[in-house]
Structures are given as structure tokens and as C-alpha cells.
Amino acid sequence: MNSRERILGRVRRALADAPAEETPLSRDYLREHGQRTAAETVDLLAENLADYRALVHRCGDRELADLIMRLLAERGSRTVLVPPGLPPYWLTASDVTQVHDRAASTAHELDRVDSVVTGCAVAIAETGTLVLDGSPDQGRRRITLVPDHHICVVRVPGQVVSSVPQGLERLDPARPLTWISGPSATSDIELDRVEGVHGPRTLEVILVGEN
Amino acid sequence: MSGTYLGMPAFPAAAREAVGNATLRGNLRHATHTIRAKRAKAVSEVSDWAELREAGRRIKDHTLRHLDRYLVQLEESVTAAGGVVHWAADADEANDIVTQLVKMTGESEVVKVKSMATQEIGLNEALEAEGIRAYETDLAELIVQLGKDRPSHILVPAIHRNRGEIRDIFAREMSEWGRPAPEGLTDTPAELAEAARLHLREKFLRAKVGISGANFMVAETGTLVVVESEGNGRMCLTLPETLISVVGIEKIVPAWQDLEVFLQTLPRSSTAERMNPYTSTWTGTTDEDGPRNFHLVLLDNGRTDTLADEVGRQALRCIRCSACLNVCPVYERAGGHAYGSVYPGPIGAILSPQLRGTGSEIDASLPYASSLCGACYEVCPVAIDIPEVLVHLRERVVQGGEVTRAGNKVVLRPAKGHAAERAAMRAARWAFLHPGALRTGQRAASRTRRFHPRSLPGPGRAWSGTRELPPVPAEPFRDWWQRTRGGKDGDR
């Protein structure tokens, strides 16, 4: 008997005298916490992102390229990673060297890049969370991990939901997902929170509205 | 479970030593009180906490009730997504599978995400014996590994260490394992974290094999979920070519939607955050993004035995948030090492004796490592009635009875250490059945009360070593009643 059969047999014997199912699962918890307008939901996202020490910026679509240029310049970045489907106009104002997200690039090569700019799949206001799903404007998971500076662009209010349940139902589980709530952090030393252990130490979020 | 902790003394002996260590007590008190207060605030932010908790309990109970079905479904969906599923009945088998998988890659080192399952089976030691070096990459696990220490908390394994101790460990040990600590390293948390970042980054960037556990596995979609804070998890899950995940069979949830419950309750219960900084989900393999090879090792190792116990099986609902540790007055004073297992605190006190059986001295003592105050049940996000299981396991230890071990029903003999307790209970039973003898005995006890010792001799010494003997009243209750009420009911 192989271990698969052994384990399944043990499970079935263990459950032989278990009572039949009690009442069916009721999902009577809330789909979102509180009533908010779309604008208030975006405000809450901004507030919770900032509370987790992400740097939040807001602008209209026409100012986006200038803002990205300014953020890269303030940081002194000389190279920026670019996912294949990033709208080209986002980086037109900036003369920083663009490094393209290629499957063949090594982790060491990624480690030498200063910044990365991506879009996102959805943002969750109640928890201050950005979710990336590997779409062409977000690229491979590792490009938002190895560089130390991540600029993530969120379209508001279209990409923003209130809650975790609302976020989950927008996502495709077949894609690899990365949920990001603030920069990398640890509380392992006397529970003092320190930003940036292994992931990006600086997370900047741009909330882009229509002009 | 593995032999990592074999030879541990019973809980009372280990706890006595820990309680005498003032530094340890200070570190623990600071940590547990800080996180306790933060958690209460994080939970109060969601008005439907009770409903989320109940939904979590029901999802887990439903999954356990149909675990065979969901395991088969999970296997199908992971396989369809490009993963390979392996089944491991016990720790040795799991370690063998992982060792073989690593050897097939030709690599001799692996990077690890913090994982309770791999600690439980002693994977690092098993790999070491085969010439494979496993690097822990969670900061707290790194502190434990470099310090040749054992984890003492589920969430923050180095909770028993303060910053000065951590600085000394880094300065002394880092060079043995790779990049040395920077010259003149101070004990500020930011500098210590930076030293860990530099030390580990060189390992991440060259690693070809990653090993992880998982917080959840979704049967419907074949998706695995890891929640973490530092990004070391993301490094191990996405940079290597081969990913091996060792996961207990109880970690299944049926549907994608079920995650909406646990992704709300887990972070708030564990780190007291609205959401942990990073959550990664992956479903098999994805072309040109992340590992090319994915292996899932489904681990039993005592879980089906636990499932067979109708009171104890609720322990399998546990999502390893560690909230019960942070509120426990016993854990706060004794620390995690006294529990002799990778699972300390209240959940460890019910999980370890079920996964390993109550055969050893330490496992037989764990159901007593509690004051039964119930705080652990109050905070548990999946409503595990830990006090109920503790009492159930105490009964098993004292009386023995039928249990399941490695899938077979066996009859357990009463534990040795409890002969005096059983004798006392038998004597009490006889006395209560013989009112005359009880009355005579009570009067004799009252009359001799001034000569009673403060502690018990012989086999009772251990019992009275940690307790005050209750003083005997000057007059038995029944005599007092006769004297003051004349034995008559009524005139109230």
C-alpha cells in the first residue's frame, strides 16, 4: 500500500463515526465594513497605505509622467525596470535608463537595478493592500521584489475596492498573485517594526485619477 | 513528530528553570503584552469579527469532515496546474522525499521560508545528514539557526532574545554561514535587520532550490498561499528553479472564496495588522515567472490520528496565528522552550500530545501546562476550545483508553506518574459513599488541624511544591450547619 492510500484510508477510518454535517456554512459576515462613496474609498486606501509607511502621491493622468520622473530623480535612480505592458507614456518624461523585464535576466542583474515601476490588478482600501497578478503592466513577480524602490500606479477609483472579499472576487487564482501592504517589514527584534528586510524598502504609490 | 526534542524534561521541570531566568521573563513579558494590546485594537476595527470567527470555524470543520474528498481534489488541481504531488505518512517519509527531490537537482544548499511543518519533521537536520545545507531566511529563524537555538514562539521564534543577544549572535556566527556581520555592528533593530539583509541576499540570488510550507491550500483551484512580512518568502518562492512545499493535510480550504475569511482573521490575530506586508499565491507553475518545477509534499505525521479523536480533532482547525500564546499567563512566564515542541503555548499543549501521542514524559505533562483560564479560546480566530481539549487529554493521561496511533486503534494504559492521584480519587469516592466514615474523618481532621504539615511528604511532595495546602476549617461544614440551623431547612 502506498502512502497516498494509507493516508486516505486513515482519514476515512478516522471519520467513520464523525457526525454528519451540521448546518451549512452561512457567510453572514460583511462584504465591506461601512458605507463609503468611491472617493471616500480612495481616501481610505491612501490613509491605510500611509499608515503602513508607503509614500502616497495623487495626480491626474496628464501629470503622471512628470510625477514618475520626479520620484525617480529624487531617489537618484539611474536605472528602472519596466514590465512589457507598461504604458510607454508613463516614462516619457524621464531619461532614466530603462531595463526590460526579460525571462533570461538573472537575479544578480535585477539586484543592480535601482527602481521598478508597475501598475496593479486591484487595490483594497480597508487593508491598504495592492495586488499584482503578473499582467503585462506588472511583469514577473521578482521585478517588484529585488529592486529596493517600487513605484506602483493605481487607477482610481476604477481599480480600488473596499474590502478583502471584494478584492478576492476580482482576482484570477490561476495567476500568481502578490499582495503588498506597505514596504517589506519585520518585527522580529523585540517587536520593533523595521522596514525593508528583503523586499523593497521604499514603496511609493501613485493614485491616478482622470483629469 | 520528529525526535528533535527527545529527552526534554516534563513541562514543570523545564518551566521551573525558565521562570527563574529574569532576562527571559522580561523579554517575554514585553513581547506578549505589546502584541496583545495591538491585536485587540486590530480586531476591534472589524465589526463582524464574531461572524468571521464562526465562518472560519465552520469552513475548517467542514473541510475536516470531508478531508479525503478535498485531498483528492487538491491533488487533481495541483497536478493539472503543473505541480507534482507527493504523500508522506510520517516525518521520515517526508524528509526522504524532500532529500531525494533536492538531490535530483544536483544542488547541495537550499533556502527556506519559515515553516512549522518542516520544523516539526526536523527537515534541516535530515538534510544536513545528507550533506545538504538548509538556510533559514526569516529573520527570527535566522537568529535561532545562527544561535544554535530552538524556536520558542510560532510567529516570532526568537521572541526570547533581546537586541543585545541578537547582536552578539550575528557578530559571532554570521561568518560561519556566509557573509560576516559588518564591523562595529550595534544593537539597533534597523542595523541588525540590515546585517541580515546583506547576509541573506547573496544566498537568495544564487539559490536554485527553495523550500516552504503553506498557510492555505485551495482544493478547488490547487492554489497555495504563503503570508509573510519580510519578503524572504517571496524570494524563496519565486527566484529558485525548483520549489518544494511541505504542507500538513489539514491546511486545505475548499474554495477560493474561503480565503476571504482567513485573510481577514489571520493577520489581525497574529501580527495585529490589518494585513501582513506580503501574501503570495501560486497555482502550479507559471511560464517564465517563478520556479519551473513545483513539488507539493502532503504531510500526515499524526494528523489523521488527531482527526480520529472526536474531542481533540478541533485542534486541526488551527491556522497557526499564535494569538493564544500571547494571551496565555503560563506561556508568558514559562516561555516556549518549556513545551518541548515546535508548537508551544496553549495550542502546543493540545497539538503536541495528539500528534506525538502521550507516551513521553513531556507529552503526558503538556495537558497540565495550563491554568484553564480560557483566554486562549477567547482569542482563537477559529474558535478552538483549547480548555476543553486540555481537560479531555488530562483524562486520557490519567485514565488511559482507546486512541489511534499511526492509523491503528490502541488501548493506552494510565500514565505512571498519576498513581497517587488515582489512589486519592478512589479514596475520595469510597469516603463519599460512606457518610459515617466521611464525618469521622472530617472531625478528626479539624481537631488535628494545628499539626498539619504545610507540604505533603512522599509522592505528594511534587504536588504541594507548587501549591499551598488548603487549611482545614476549625469545624466541618456539616457540624456548623447542625449547630447554627439545627439541621432544619426552611426558615430563610
d(CA B368, CA B11): 8
Q: Taking a C-beta distance cutoff of 8 angstroms, is the pair B296, B224 a contact?
A: yes
Cβ-Cβ contacts under 8 Å, B223 against chain A? 173
Q: Between A11, A164, A177, which is nearest B307 by CB? A: A11
User: Which of B154, B289, B314 would best serve as a mutation to test chain A binding (most A beta carbons within 10 A)?
Assistant: B289
d(CA A208, CA A61): 6
Assign residue B96 the CATH number of its domain: 3.40.50.10420
Order across the sheet with B223-228: list the strands: A160-161, A122-124, A129-132, A177-180, B278-283, B223-228, B216-218, B252-253
Between chain A and chain B, how many beta carbons pairs sit less than 8 Å apart? 239
Across the interface, whether the CB atoms of B259 and A145 are under 8 A apart is answered: no
Beta strands in chain A (DSSP E): 55-60, 79-82, 97-100, 115-118, 122-124, 129-132, 149-155, 160-161, 177-180, 185-186, 194-195, 202-209
CA B365-B367-B370 angle, to 5 degrees, is 105
Residue B226 parent element (H or E): strand B223-228
Q: Between B46, B139, B298, which is nearest A33 by CB? A: B46
User: Which of B33, B238, B261, B316 would best serve as a mutation to test chain A binding (most A beta carbons within 10 A)?
Assistant: B238
Same-domain pairing of B430 and B281? no
DSSP summary character for residue A79: E
Cβ neighbours of B137 (radius 10 Å): 28
Q: Taking a C-beta distance cutoff of 8 angstroms, is the pair B230, A184 a contact?
A: yes
Q: Between A127, A173, A187, which is nearest B283 by CB? A: A173
What are residue A81's DSSP bridge partners? A99, A116
pLDDT of residue B487: 58
- List the domain range (segments joined by +) for residue B438: 418-484
- What parts of chain A have a pLDDT lower than 50? none
pLDDT of residue B468: 77
Whether B221 contacts chain A with CB within 8 A = yes
Residue B399 falls within a domain, yes or no? no
Q: Taking a C-beta distance cutoff of 8 angstroms, is the pair A144, A14 a contact?
A: no
Contacts with B, A 166-185, CB within 8 Å: 168-169, 173-185
Cβ-Cβ contacts under 8 Å, B298 against chain A? 7
Same-domain pairing of B295 and B422? no
pLDDT digits (tens, 9 = 90+) for A53-84: 999 999 999 999 999 999 999 999 999 999 99
Q: Are strands B133-136 and B216-218 parallel, antiparallel or unpaired?
A: unpaired
d(CA B46, CA A178): 23
Residue A184 parent element (H or E): none
Q: Between B61, B166, B230, which is nearest A199 by CB? A: B230
Residue B253 falls within a domain, yes or no? yes
pLDDT of residue B6: 56
Number of domains, chain B: 2
**Of all residues in chain B, what percent are helix, strand and coil, respectively (each to 5)?**
55, 10, 35
Q: Between B232, B261, B307, which is nearest A14 by CB? A: B307
Cβ-Cβ contacts under 8 Å, A145 against chain B? 231, 234-235, 238
Q: Domain ends where: B252, B285, B303?
A: B303
Single-letter code of the amino acid located at A50: A
Its pTM stands at 0.93
Distance from CA of B314 to the nearest CA of A (A): 12
Residue B388 falls within a domain, yes or no? no
Q: Between A164, A173, A182, which is nearest B221 by CB? A: A173
Q: Domain ends where: B262, B278, B303?
A: B303
User: Which of B135, B281, B294 would best serve as a mutation to test chain A binding (most A beta carbons within 10 A)?
Assistant: B281
Could you give the dihedral angle defined by the CA atoms of residues B175, B209, A199 and B251, in that order, rounded to the nearest 10 degrees? -120
Residue B354 falls within a domain, yes or no? no
Q: Please report the ipTM that was assigned to this predicted complex.
A: 0.97
Residue B321 falls within a domain, yes or no? no
d(CA B66, CA B85): 19
Across the interface, whether the CB atoms of A28 and B298 are under 8 A apart is answered: no
Contacts with A, B 64-83, CB within 8 Å: 65, 67-68, 71-72, 81
User: Dmax of chain A from CA atoms?
Assistant: 70
Q: Between B59, B189, B281, which is nearest A190 by CB? A: B189
Order across the sheet with A97-100: list the strands: A55-60, A202-209, A149-155, A115-118, A79-82, A97-100
Specify the long-range contacts of residues A24-31, CB closer than 8 Å, at least 24 apart: A25/B55, A25/B58, A25/B59, A25/B62, A26/B55, A26/B58, A27/B55, A28/B51, A28/B55, A29/B48, A29/B51, A29/B52, A29/B55, A29/B261, A30/A163, A30/B46, A30/B47, A30/B48, A30/B51, A31/A163, A31/A165, A31/A166
pLDDT of residue B460: 73
Residue in chain B lying closest to A170 (CA): B257
Residue B5 falls within a domain, yes or no? no
pLDDT digits (tens, 9 = 90+) for B96-113: 999 999 999 999 999 999
Phi, psi of B3 (to 5 degrees): -90, 15
pLDDT of residue B88: 98
pLDDT of residue A17: 86
Contacts with A, B 149-168, CB within 8 Å: 156, 158, 162-163, 166
DSSP summary character for residue B136: E
Q: Domain ends where: B303, B330, B355?
A: B303
Residue B91 falls within a domain, yes or no? yes
Residue A46 parent element (H or E): helix A38-51
Cβ neighbours of B62 (radius 10 Å): 18
Same-domain pairing of B289 and B437? no
Across the interface, whether the CB atoms of B256 and A168 are under 8 A apart is answered: yes
Same-domain pairing of B293 and B429? no
- What parts of chain B have a pLDDT lower than 70? 1-7, 417, 459, 487-492
Same-domain pairing of B26 and B162? yes
Place of cell 497605505: A49
Residue in chain A lying closest to B69 (CA): A8
At residue A55, the 3 state secondary structure works out as strand
Same-domain pairing of B134 and B280? yes
Residue B262 falls within a domain, yes or no? yes
d(CA A157, CA A160): 5
